[in-house]
Amino acid sequence: MGAASPTGIRFDSGSCDTRGSQPRSSMELLDQDTRRSWLADHPEWALDGETISRTFAHRDFKEAMGFVTRVALSAEVADHHPDIDIRWNKVTLVLTTHDAGGLTAKDTDLAAEIDAY
């Protein structure tokens, strides 16, 4: 069973689903072929240097905030937290693994999970 947060919410401490990709260290930087392949499968995401980003448009502010809450819960479980920019009904997420100095499977795994919402 996961640990309780200060708010009393329990988070599962399991790892993110790699959705059939080859096992690799989540802290290993992704090579160019892996990046191209992932982006081909997730065309809504954009690569900018060592980050991936995507803007999600929602019907209104309330739906945008509900989305941000779901992202926050997934990020907490993954222990990997995106930069989040909220502009009324638009939410932009930016992912990179700061500890590794660039894009890793932690980023693409969390992004793929978010795409499944």
Local structure of residue 9 (DSSP, 8 states): -
pLDDT digits (tens, 9 = 90+) for 85-104: 999 999 999 999 999 999 99
End-to-end CA distance of the chain: 23
What's the rounded Cα separation, in Å, for the pair 89 and 61?
A: 5
The CATH code for residues 28-115 is 3.30.1360.20
What does the pLDDT read at residue 25? 57
Give the pLDDT confidence score for residue 26 in this predicted structure.
Answer: 63
- Could you read off the pLDDT of 20-58 as tens digits, one per residue? 444 445 689 999 999 999 999 999 999 999 999 999 999
**Predicted confidence (pLDDT) at residue 18 exceeds the cutoff of 90:** no
Give me the residue spans of the domains in the chain: 28-115
State how far the Cα of 78 lies from the Cα of 110, in Å rounded to an integer: 7
Contact at 8 Å (CB) between 27 and 21?
Answer: no
Query: Are 45 and 111 within 8 A, CB to CB?
Result: yes
Mean pLDDT of 63-86: 97
Q: Select, from the ranges 15-19, 26-30, 74-78, the one with the highest average predicted confidence (pLDDT).
A: 74-78
For the entire predicted model, the pTM comes to 0.77
> What pLDDT was estimated at residue 20?
42
